[in-house]
Amino acid sequence: MQGITLKPLVSAIALALTLSACGNDDPTQMAAASQTSQPTQAQAQAQAQAQAQQTEIVQINAANPFFSDYDTPHGIPDFAAITPEHYLPAFKEGIKQQQAEIQAIVDNPEPPTFANTIEAMENSGELLGKVSSVFFNLTSADTNDQLQAISKEVSPMLSSARDDIMLNDQLFARVKAVYDQREVMDLNTAQAKLLEDTYKQFTRGGANLNEQQKAKLRELNEQIGKLSLEFGDNLLAETNDFMLVIDKQEDLSGLPQDVIDQAATTAAKNGLEGKWVFTTHRPSMTPFLTYADNRALREQLFNGYIERGNNNNANDNKVILANMAALRAERAALMGYPTHAHFVLEERTAKTPENVYALLNKVWPAALEQAKAEVADMQKLIDAEGKDFKLQAWDWWYYADKIRVAKYAFNEQDTRPYFSLDNTIQGVFYTANRLFGITAKERTDLPKYHEDVRTWEIYDKDGKLMAIFMGDYFVRDSKRGGAWMNDYRSQEKVNGQNVIPVVVNVLNYTKAPDGEPTLLTFDEASTLFHEFGHALHGMLSDVTYASQSGTSVPRDYVEFPSQVMENWMTEPEVLAQFARHYQSGEVIPQALVDKIQAASKFNQGFATVEYLAATKLDLDWHTLTDTRPQDAAKFEAESLANMGLIEEIAPRYRSTYFAHIFSGGYSAGYYSYIWSEILGADAYEAFKEKGIFDPATANAFRATVLSQGGSQDPMLLYKQFRGKEAGIEPLLRAKGLLKD
Residues with catalytic annotation? 531
Q: Give the pairing type, strands 439-443 and 484-489.
A: unpaired
Q: Give the C-alpha distances (Å, rounded to integers) separating 654 from 533, 621, 645.
A: 27, 12, 13
Report the candidate in 241, 250, 248 with the shortest Cα–Cα distance to residue 311: 241
Report the candidate in 55, 101, 679 with the shortest Cα–Cα distance to residue 359: 679
Query: Which residues contact residue 612 at a Cβ distance below 8 angstroms, ignoring those fewer than 6 apart?
Result: 360, 363, 364, 367, 674
Check: CB of residue 612 under 8 Å from CB of residue 367.
Answer: yes
Query: Which residues contact residue 250 at a Cβ distance below 8 angstroms, ignoring those fewer than 6 apart?
Result: none
What separation, in Å, do the N-terminal and C-terminal C-alpha atoms of the chain show?
Answer: 52
Count of residues in the chain: 740
Q: How far apart are CA 360 and CA 437, in angstroms?
A: 38
Q: Give the pairing type, strands 502-509 and 465-474.
A: parallel
DSSP state of 509: E
Check: CB of residue 461 under 8 Å from CB of residue 615.
Answer: no
Rounded to 5 degrees, what angle do the CA atoms 389, 392, 393 make? 165
Q: How far apart are CA 531 and CA 484, in angstroms?
A: 6
Q: Give the C-alpha distances (Å, rounded to integers) separating 561 from 268, 425, 461, 707.
A: 40, 18, 20, 11
DSSP state of 486: E
Which stretches of 540-662 are DSSP H helices?
A: 555-558, 560-569, 572-578, 590-599, 604-622, 632-643, 659-662
Q: Give the C-alpha distances (Å, rounded to integers) separating 632 from 18, 88, 357, 654.
A: 46, 35, 21, 10
Q: How far apart are CA 178 and CA 110, in angstroms?
A: 12
Give me the long-range contacts of 482-486 (CB less than 8 A, separation at least 24): 482/508, 482/659, 483/507, 483/508, 483/527, 483/530, 483/531, 484/140, 484/531, 484/534, 485/531, 485/534, 485/535, 485/537, 485/538, 485/551, 485/562, 486/137, 486/140
Q: What is the CA radius of gyration of the chain?
A: 27
Q: Given strand 454-459, what is the order of strands in its sheet?
A: 439-443, 454-459, 465-474, 502-509, 484-489
Q: How far apart are CA 681 and CA 413, in angstroms?
A: 27
Q: Give the C-alpha distances (Å, rounded to integers) separating 441 from 429, 446, 463.
A: 10, 12, 12
Region for residue 386 given its phi and psi (left: phi exceeds 0; alpha: psi -120 to 50; beta: otherwise):
left
DSSP state of 573: H
Q: How far apart are CA 273 and CA 242, in angstroms?
A: 17
Helix, strand, coil: what percent of the chain each, to 5?
A: 60, 5, 30
Query: Which residues contact residue 632 at a Cβ distance below 8 angstroms, ignoring those fewer than 6 apart?
Result: 318, 319, 321, 322, 655, 656
Q: How far apart are CA 712 and CA 710, in angstroms?
A: 5
Query: Which residues contact residue 204 at a Cβ distance below 8 angstroms, ignoring those fewer than 6 apart?
Result: 335, 343, 346, 347
